[in-house]
């Protein structure tokens, strides 16, 4: 095998696993699909015109009372309104359609077409129209055509995967830096919750609550992130100055952060924030991608450049490979470690702001077990727990792998307890492969 290919497989081998998982869940979630909303209306309008009934033909629109079908009547009426006569809209249940048919029959109308959504096409009331309402004639029943397609590959599901993993993936950037230096950070989940609570409380108490301005919200969120940064700097100082193991320091900060979050939230969710606060977490921007996903991609690009092209990135790898050798080579080991834990805490704070924006509230329960998911994403992405080895694109692939596994099992109706078993085995397998690679 060519050395460059072997190196790519070694660094990013999980991308093949990710593609296999996507292929598996695509096959496993194939089901009957029907267009809804505007797409359904356009298709049915084409079917109506293909009948060649001529201008003035009468059409009854029928739809079930479901969110996915809510816009179907409006769009269909726009599509056919100029050429055909819409004599009624039956929305709700079969009895509503029967009442609409009865009204038309009593008014002496003759019905040419019943245009309905896929869910309404199965109503038995439409099968008996010629018998129950002979005055209406024999109208044609038209509905969108169904097709088979994987639920996993629906555009809205793929965007949902990206949006759900954005927070974990962003925090995993900082965790990658920490693990590359040979450390660990167990406090990120608690700092996420602390940041979410602080940002919501700052907006509520200092920026005007639901009437807060954009500047007030930005300053509140920045302050929350900086508080998390202070916590990360404290962890770094304990590790570098007093040589306390990172596991112990960050475990203590996990408890401190969680306790502060519950204390500040007073056991409740803080939700008195403006609707505009959801812009970062729920809004869409470039190419229709969620703003959180765009931010995630920008951060990964910057982190990849820093780790692969800049002196600081080389220092991270040097410290993780051999801290003493790095020190003797002139690398400021303490400063590098401090920056790693500071970056991890700041990105955890940013993740808390994004989650608070997604959920339009702050709560101390946010980020529960996120430290485990973040570490899993980093390890699955190929970063060695021994330090000195890891790539930012690999971490992103690891985060997407975990998200695909969770999403695919949700679509396949796998219970949450089984999902935890599968994720645990995936993490164990990734660590085992890392150990075998190093042994070889």
Give the DSSP per-residue string, 282-345.
H-B-GGG-BHHHHHHHHHHHHHHHHHHHSHHHHHHHHHHH-HHHHHHTT--HHHHHHHHHHHHH
Instruction: Output the pLDDT for position 5.
Output: 64
What string of pLDDT tens digits covers the 440 residues of the chain?
556 666 666 666 788 888 999 999 999 999 988 888 899 999 999 999 999 888 889 999 999 988 888 899 999 999 887 789 999 999 999 999 999 999 999 988 889 999 999 989 989 999 889 889 999 999 999 999 988 999 999 988 999 899 889 999 999 999 999 999 999 999 999 999 999 999 999 999 999 999 999 999 999 999 999 999 999 999 999 999 999 999 999 999 999 999 999 999 998 999 999 999 999 998 887 778 899 999 999 999 999 999 999 999 999 999 999 999 999 999 999 999 999 999 999 999 999 999 999 999 999 999 998 999 999 999 999 898 889 999 999 999 999 999 999 999 999 888 888 888 988 888 888 778 777 776 76
Instruction: Output the pLDDT for position 4.
Output: 66
Tell me, what DSSP letter sits at residue 128? T
Give the other-Cβ count within 10 Å of 160's Cβ: 15
Taking the C-alpha atoms of residue 71 and residue 42, their distance in angstroms, rounded to an integer, is 12
Instruction: Output the pLDDT for position 438.
Output: 67
User: Is-contact 367 354, C-beta < 8 A?
Assistant: no
Give the other-Cβ count within 10 Å of 98's Cβ: 19
Taking the C-alpha atoms of residue 100 and residue 95, their distance in angstroms, rounded to an integer, is 9
**Is 131 exposed, middle or buried (CB count within 10 Å of its CB: 0-12, 13-18, 19+)?**
exposed
Instruction: Output the pLDDT for position 270.
Output: 95
Instruction: Output the pLDDT for position 6.
Output: 65
Instruction: Output the pLDDT for position 427.
Output: 80
Query: What does the CA dihedral 56, 62, 68, 74 come to, rounded to 10 degrees?
Result: 30
Q: Which two tokens stand for residue 413?
A: 């109706």
Name, in order, each residue with C-beta under 8 angstroms of 297's C-beta and a sequence gap of 6 or more.
none
User: Is-contact 22 161, C-beta < 8 A?
Assistant: no
User: Is-contact 331 319, C-beta < 8 A?
Assistant: yes
Q: Which two tokens stand for residue 285?
A: 């921007």
Distance of CA 223 to the CA centre of its chain: 25
């Amino acid at each position: 095998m060519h050395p460059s290919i072997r190196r790519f497989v070694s660094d990013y081998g999980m991308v093949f696993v990710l593609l296999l998982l996507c292929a598996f869940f695509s096959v496993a979630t194939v089901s009957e699909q029907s267009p809804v909303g505007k797409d359904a209306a356009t298709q049915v309008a084409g079917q109506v015109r293909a009948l060649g009934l001529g201008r003035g033909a009468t059409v009854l629109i029928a739809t079930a009372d479901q969110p996915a079908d809510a816009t179907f009547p409006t769009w269909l009426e726009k599509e056919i309104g100029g050429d055909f006569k819409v004599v009624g809209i039956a929305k709700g249940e079969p009895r509503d359609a029967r009442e609409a048919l009865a009204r038309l029959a009593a008014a002496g109308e003759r019905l040419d077409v019943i245009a309905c959504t896929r869910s309404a096409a199965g109503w038995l009331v439409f099968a008996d129209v010629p018998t129950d309402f002979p005055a209406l004639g024999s109208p044609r029943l038209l509905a969108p055509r169904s097709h088979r397609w994987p639920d996993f590959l629906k555009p809205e599901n793929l965007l949902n995967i990206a949006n759900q993993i954005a927070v974990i993936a962003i925090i995993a950037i900082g965790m990658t830096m920490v693990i590359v230096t040979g450390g660990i950070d167990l406090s990120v989940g608690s700092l996420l919750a602390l940041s979410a609570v602080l940002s919501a409380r700052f907006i509520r108490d200092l920026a005007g609550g639901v009437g807060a301005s954009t500047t007030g919200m930005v300053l509140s969120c920045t302050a929350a992130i900086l508080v998390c940064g202070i916590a990360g700097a404290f962890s770094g100082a304990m590790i570098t100055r007093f040589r306390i193991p990172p596991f112990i320091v960050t475990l203590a900060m996990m408890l401190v952060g969680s306790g502060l979050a519950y204390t500040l939230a007073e056991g409740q969710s803080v939700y008195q924030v403006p609707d505009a606060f959801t812009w970062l977490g729920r809004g869409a921007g470039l190419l229709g991608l969620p703003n959180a996903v765009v931010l995630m991609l920008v951060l990964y690009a910057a982190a990849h450049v820093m780790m692969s092209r800049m002196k600081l990135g080389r220092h991270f790898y040097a410290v993780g490979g051999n801290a003493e050798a790095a020190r003797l080579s002139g690398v400021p080991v303490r400063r590098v470690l401090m920056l790693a834990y500071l970056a991890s805490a700041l990105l955890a704070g940013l993740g808390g702001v994004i989650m608070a924006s997604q959920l339009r509230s702050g709560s101390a329960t946010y980020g529960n077990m996120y430290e485990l998911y973040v570490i899993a994403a980093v390890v699955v992405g190929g970063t060695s727990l021994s330090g000195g080895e890891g790539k930012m694109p690999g971490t992103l692939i690891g985060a997407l792998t975990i998200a695909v596994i969770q999403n695919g099992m949700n679509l396949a109706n796998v219970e949450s307890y089984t999902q935890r078993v599968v994720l645990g085995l995936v993490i164990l397998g990734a660590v085992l492969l890392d150990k075998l690679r190093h042994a070889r």
